[in-house]
Structure 1
Amino acid sequence: MQPNSSVQSPIKFERENLSSAQLLDLYVALLKPRLIEEKMLILLRQGKISKWFSGIGQEAISVGVTKALNPDEYILPMHRNLGVFTTRNVPLNRLFSQWQGKQNGFTKGRDRSFHFGTQEYKIVGMISHLGPQLGVADGIALAHKLKKENKLTAVFTGEGGTSEGDFHEALNIASVWDLPVMFCIENNGYGLSTPTNEQYRCKDLADRAKGYGMESFIIDGNNIIEVYSKVSEIAESIRENPRPVLLEFKTFRMRGHEEASGTKYVPEELMQFWEQKDPVENFRQFLKEENILNEDQEIHSKDEIKAEIDLNLKEANEETPIEFIKTKEISDVYQEFIYQKVNPGSNTENVRFIDAIAQAVKQSMQRHNSLVLMGQDIAEYGGVFKITEGLISEFGKERVRNTPICESAIVGTAMGLSISGMKAMVEMQFGDFVSSGFNPIVNYLAKSNYRWNQNADVVIRMPCGAGVGAGPFHSQTNEAWFTKVPGLKVVYPAFPYDAKGLLNTAFNDPNPILFFEHKALYRSIRQEVPVDYYTLPLGKASILKEGGKLTIITYGAGVHWALDTIDEMELENVDLIDLRSLQPLDKEAIMNSAKKTGKVLVLTEDSTFGSLASEISAIISEECFEYLDAPVMRLGSAETPIPFAAALEEGYLPKTKLKEKIQQLIDY
């Protein structure tokens, strides 16, 4: 419905200091996403695209914000922000290919809609979990601040997304660190079908900024001049004085959450009210009343945009449908990493497991000027295990950063640093606490390279394991949560020498790595370790003992249990494999040993069901069945949470049962 030209527009436009040319430019920028959407809705009905999330009625926000930012400043949009892409002049043929799942799209058919990013246009697209992108914006803004660039980052969310914990975590981090982030809330009335009165109880979402000590503004999201002018002013202020600002744009979603949803749940009078506030039609009417836009100009603009749409749509339609090539799909899960071997020097010292890790962190910080450490209490305090103690005096608080208790947003921040070409390490105070940051690890870090060729140069250190009487919340060894996820690498050393070399390599690797460090080994295991920097390859197991009678495969504390038990039983003909790296996994070493001995025991500290031990057992059973002289046996902890009391913990762990299990396999 177009507003009646004889009735005063419900949107009050003020020209501000904008020239007629600028106003016309804003109009064309508004018109373009509207005409594309109208075309997409036709194609959707024709079955030529599978899904569409409409931004009709909200275009002024996307266009106004994007126009207010510089081309080299990142924007993190949502699925209704087509205007961000068109205003950044992203080629339409590539957008159309993206929506059709074709090779020329930004995700090569691997994701749909706006679930992609492009470094060329400084756009970082959303994931369906919504909240994590807010933390990513923090990371990009942190990179700007560390590089002393006078830039800001704009990130979008909806009013529904503000209910997520990531929203609050991201605002808190940005506030505490004075990050130049513009948090843009598109308050469009409904989260799918849930109205705002069922989403929150504050009068305005902008009021939430008070709790984080930041400024906020409410802007008419349907008034393109107000959006552009106010955001431009705020953006310039943020560049001069880096800090976060919260913007609430009042608008309305005129179509369904996605087209199949419809709008039957919206009262008709509400729809009619907002139809009268259409941002495109009201601005067109204003420009005509001001004699800035005439009929010929309007027709010319529409014809030009429609011709561009048709031409690019034709190009996308003619593109060959994508084909599944398994090798290509698998090769794109990880960014290519060419391991560079750095040999250890001859000068060694006898150090504890924890000291070797601390050396690796320090020496990697010295080698990588862009590496930033983040974690709870890691700065002045040096972390709860004192691994980062003293680093702040050498590298400063900018690179060794205490964080609020915001695991999810801090993982997102690490991703943002990677997008900006930096490296990040996140120390989980205890590996158990990673559950609070699970979502961005498995859904953002792990999938980004596969989806749009953006790596996550992030190492997450995971103090883990039982045997120290820490109970159910500080003792888990949860590596199996992550070995399952394509795109993540998982490392789990058992010796100081391996820990230092592997952690150095982890910092060099551009892919996301979970680095597990068993707490019980921190101060109980010593070894001669080279003083200088060196590396070890990921995905290469260590053969600690060799024999032809029996194979024991394990990692972490299990390696030391196995060594002790082998000595106690005086076994001399055993292959003992320390995996060291769980993903990638050294399948060659595993299968070679299984074929040689015919009897295999896989030992893990994790509870057996669903553990990595089960996967290794399956690999051996499938690949080496004809070589086996006994079933592949597994030994893990009890199927309970980890208890606290010493007697209960001892009974929980598999260590006391190892001797019996080995003998059972020998006697089979």
Structure 2
Amino acid sequence: MEVKEERHIDYDRSEFSDDELLSVYKAIKKPRVIEEKMLVLLRQGKISKWFSGWGQEAISVGTTLAMEEEEYILPMHRNLGVFTTRGIPLNRLFSQFQGKMSGFTKGRDRSFHFGASEYNIVGMISHLGPQLGIADGIALACKLNKESKATLVFSGDGGASEGDFHEALNVASVWQLPVIFAVENNQWGLSTPSNEQFRCRQFIDKGIGYGMDAFQVDGNNILEVLSSVRKIAQSLRENPRPFLLELMTFRMRGHEEASGTKYYPEGIQDQWEKKDPVRNFELFLLEQGILTEAMIDQVTESVKNEIQEGLDLAFAEEKIVPDTTVELTDVYAPTGDYTVLPATENKSEKRFVDAISDGLRQAMERHDNLVIMGQDVAEYGGVFKITEGFVDQFGKDRVRNTPLCESAIVGTGLGLSIKKMKAVVEMQFADFVTCGFNQIVNNLAKMHWRWGQNADVVVRMPTGAGVAAGPFHSQSNEAWFAHTPGLKIVYPAFPEEAKGLLASAIEDPNPVMFFEHKFLYRSLKEEVHDDYFTVEIGKAKVRKTGNQISVITYGMGVHWALEMAEKHPDIDMEIVDLRTLLPLDTETVYASVRKTGRVIVVHEDCLTGGLGGEISALINENCFDALDAPVVRVASLDTPVPFAADLEQNFLPKNRFEEKLLKLVEY
């Protein structure tokens, strides 16, 4: 006697026709059959790693079917069904898994660590949380452009422990952004169970704390997932606001295959296997007479054939031949020529702070897709009053006060960029950038190199000491970012160039860290063009010509050097103001060194790990035959920045600069 297989999930098909149910079945079956093949290929050594979504397919497929094709989805590494349901060709997916050129990252990243703009997908990075802030930015762009679109972003229950989760949900709630935050609660973070991740009973309990609606669904029930997300998304399109969706499921296999599942309690996988989302849905459709065993075989065979065709193409594709020029070129998005000369010769005296404000205001007038974000930047005008009056001119949609959440706001800027907008993010003080560090160095900086997405974000960084602000408001931290390929670092020393370089930074489609020395804000002024204009990024400027010694510097160091030149007119020094630290204008530096034969590199940052070490090494490697003396570095002490004025002056290199300069002249 044949024993009938028991179904363990109840389905409500009242909203679905027979044809749609069959279509849904084909969609959920596809990632499962791919999973089966990938596990075989992994054992054969034909792919290097696999993060299995076995048992969670209903979530990926159901949510994707519920969203409109034009709406963005930000999946994670267990969401194969998002990619297949969006119709990405399997040969490209398989090439991605194998590091082939037909993949999405030219072999530079693995598995689902990529985005595909043509499919409105933005993939994850390994840090799990940052994609949540990006979803905020995409949703903000939709809201500002009145597109009536929702955005869906995934987090796991483990990843939801990250601070990015709190920041992104809080921002979305404060700004009423149409984002569905989908938490795949599979109850394990690698080997760590939920009771060691959080103490709340369920994630939807967090909804009230964020002031947002929250709903829990059976993540293994594809019809419940699909129906729920359809209703939620439509509601968000009509009435923009965030939504917290908890999808209950279980991770049947290891975090990734190599980690295994030995840490699972005995019998738990057997319990959840009964709720397998694919097999239960098959049983339901068989009961409904919509599916037959023969049709199951046909669908399975059709998917297997599609998989094999894709694999044949991917396997046949040649391995990527490394091209160093291409690797280096792809670090930055192409900039084009955005040179703008002043329309007139009209100038007026402007302080450093006024020049930056003027440049930012004119950029807002020029680019109606530019959004400024930061703490207290709206009505208050920012702590340094850079954006004072901007709300009256541009409105609160484009000049946005943010909660204290640097990571989410940098991520939001990146999300705006994905939607073809521009963002200027103000760090209230450069020191606070640590709270957004991951977004900058791992998302902004690597995005174009990884999958060709530009990151049109400028991060303004009020920096530097000399104002008795102590160790957390005075740091020079430009060297942290100079080590990161993909960023551009601009550090003007004069008002005219501060205005022009800021305009260029905003025009540039790449992420730019724009350093503004706080001491110069109101202590330095000069004649500045009134019209909008740009100054080229990546070009140093010789502030004073000379033949005896080269001073290579930037920021406050330029002014110390100019003071030293006045104090010692007998020293024929040449002063090179770098202006841009990344990319570095080595051509101008080398030309000066070859002319003078003596070099002193001056910067306000601490000595160890500062830019002076890199510049000195470059000079030694490329200009050694022109040197008449060792390259000398002058920098601040290797201590935090002290508060008391006398201690701060002792920390700064200005006095040591004179001593070392005179010694080098006599060498």
TM (norm. structure 1) is 0.99
- 2:257 pairs with 256, 259, 263, which one? 259
Alpha-carbon distance, 1:657 to partner: 1.4
Q: What CA deviation, in whole Å up to 9, does each residue of 1:31-76 have, x standing for no partner?
A: 0000001000000000000000000000000000000000000000
Match of 2:446 in 1: 447
Q: Which amino acid aligns with 1:148?
A: K
Match of 1:389 in 2: 388
Cα separation, 2, equivalents of 1:24 and 1:237: 26
Match of 1:69 in 2: 67
Q: Which amino acid aligns with 2:644?
A: A
Match of 1:614 in 2: 613
Cα separation, 2, equivalents of 1:185 and 1:573: 65
Alignment of 1:125-144 (within 5 A): 125-144=123-142
2:151 maps to 1:188: no
Report the 3-state secondary structure (helix = DSSP H, G, I; strand = E; otherwise coil) of the residue aligned with 1:52.
coil
Q: Which amino acid aligns with 1:540?
A: K
2:13 maps to 1:21: no
Equivalent pair of 1:375/1:403 in contact (CA under 8 Å)? yes
Match of 2:235 in 1: 237
Q: Which amino acid aligns with 1:659?
A: E
Match of 1:211 in 2: 209
Alpha-carbon distance, 1:17 to partner: 1.6
Cα separation, 1, equivalents of 2:277 and 2:533: 60
- Which residues of structure 2 form unaligned runs of 5+? none
Q: Which amino acid aligns with 1:296?
A: A
Report the 3-state secondary structure (helix = DSSP H, G, I; strand = E; otherwise coil) of the residue aligned with 2:365.
helix
2:302 maps to 1:299: no
Alpha-carbon distance, 1:24 to partner: 0.8
Cα separation, 2, equivalents of 1:343 and 1:40: 57
Match of 1:198 in 2: 196
Cα separation, 2, equivalents of 1:338 and 1:220: 50
2:512 maps to 1:513: yes
Match of 2:315 in 1: 317
Q: What CA deviation, in whole Å up to 9, does each residue of 1:400-421 have, x standing for no partner?
A: 0000000000000000000000
2:549 maps to 1:550: yes
Cα separation, 2, equivalents of 1:86 and 1:396: 41
Equivalent pair of 1:553/1:576 in contact (CA under 8 Å)? yes
Match of 1:525 in 2: 524
2:458 maps to 1:420: no
Report the 3-state secondary structure (helix = DSSP H, G, I; strand = E; otherwise coil) of the residue aligned with 2:301.
helix
Alpha-carbon distance, 1:340 to partner: 2.5
Report the 3-state secondary structure (helix = DSSP H, G, I; strand = E; otherwise coil) of the residue aligned with 2:396.
helix
Equivalent pair of 1:16/1:229 in contact (CA under 8 Å)? no
Match of 1:398 in 2: 397
Cα separation, 2, equivalents of 1:160 and 1:348: 57
Cα separation, 2, equivalents of 1:198 and 1:174: 27
Alpha-carbon distance, 1:431 to partner: 0.3
Report the 3-state secondary structure (helix = DSSP H, G, I; strand = E; otherwise coil) of the residue aligned with 1:265.
coil
Report the 3-state secondary structure (helix = DSSP H, G, I; strand = E; otherwise coil) of the residue aligned with 1:389.
coil
Q: Which amino acid aligns with 2:531?
A: D
Match of 1:363 in 2: 362
Equivalent pair of 1:492/1:581 in contact (CA under 8 Å)? yes
Cα separation, 1, equivalents of 2:114 and 2:570: 55
- Which residues of structure 1 form unaligned runs of 5+? none
Change (3 A) 1:390 1:302: same
Equivalent pair of 1:431/1:462 in contact (CA under 8 Å)? yes
Q: Which amino acid aligns with 1:593?
A: S
Q: What CA deviation, in whole Å up to 9, does each residue of 1:512-550 have, x standing for no partner?
A: 000000000000111100101111101111101111100
Alpha-carbon distance, 1:189 to partner: 1.3
Alpha-carbon distance, 1:339 to partner: 3.0
Equivalent pair of 1:339/1:537 in contact (CA under 8 Å)? no
Equivalent pair of 1:460/1:513 in contact (CA under 8 Å)? yes
Alpha-carbon distance, 1:226 to partner: 0.4
Alignment of 1:38-57 (within 5 A): 38-57=36-55
Task: Give % identity.
Answer: 61
Equivalent pair of 1:158/1:186 in contact (CA under 8 Å)? yes
Match of 1:587 in 2: 586
Alpha-carbon distance, 1:658 to partner: 1.4
Cα separation, 2, equivalents of 1:659 and 1:258: 59
- 1:112 pairs with 102, 110, 123, which one? 110
Report the 3-state secondary structure (helix = DSSP H, G, I; strand = E; otherwise coil) of the residue aligned with 1:490.
strand
Q: Which amino acid aligns with 2:459?
A: I
Equivalent pair of 1:77/1:126 in contact (CA under 8 Å)? yes
Q: What CA deviation, in whole Å up to 9, does each residue of 1:436-491 have, x standing for no partner?
A: 00000000000000000001000000000000000000001100000110000000
- 1:145 pairs with 143, 146, 151, which one? 143
Report the 3-state secondary structure (helix = DSSP H, G, I; strand = E; otherwise coil) of the residue aligned with 1:624.
helix
Q: Which structure 1 residue ranges, 4+ long, deviate > 6 Å from structure 2? A: none
Match of 1:458 in 2: 457
Q: Which amino acid aligns with 1:373?
A: I
Q: Larger deviation: 348-357 or 15-24?
A: 15-24
Alpha-carbon distance, 1:5 to partner: 6.3
Report the 3-state secondary structure (helix = DSSP H, G, I; strand = E; otherwise coil) of the residue aligned with 1:34.
helix
Equivalent pair of 1:635/1:654 in contact (CA under 8 Å)? yes
Q: What is the root-mean-square deviation in Å for CA atoms of aligned residues?
A: 0.8
Cα separation, 1, equivalents of 2:471 and 2:169: 31
Cα separation, 1, equivalents of 2:251 and 2:174: 33
Match of 1:499 in 2: 498
Alpha-carbon distance, 1:642 to partner: 0.1
Equivalent pair of 1:463/1:518 in contact (CA under 8 Å)? yes
Match of 1:246 in 2: 244
Report the 3-state secondary structure (helix = DSSP H, G, I; strand = E; otherwise coil) of the residue aligned with 1:535.
coil
- 2:329 pairs with 328, 331, 341, which one? 331
Change (3 A) 1:5 1:333: farther
- 1:283 pairs with 281, 284, 302, which one? 281
Match of 1:352 in 2: 351
Q: Which amino acid aligns with 2:374?
A: G
Equivalent pair of 1:569/1:659 in contact (CA under 8 Å)? no
Cα separation, 1, equivalents of 2:661 and 2:45: 61
Match of 2:165 in 1: 167
Alpha-carbon distance, 1:16 to partner: 2.3
Equivalent pair of 1:5/1:285 in contact (CA under 8 Å)? no
Alpha-carbon distance, 1:164 to partner: 0.3
TM (norm. structure 2) is 0.99
Alpha-carbon distance, 1:8 to partner: 3.9
Question: When the two structures are aligned, how many residues end up with a matched partner?
Answer: 665
Q: Which amino acid aligns with 1:506?
A: A
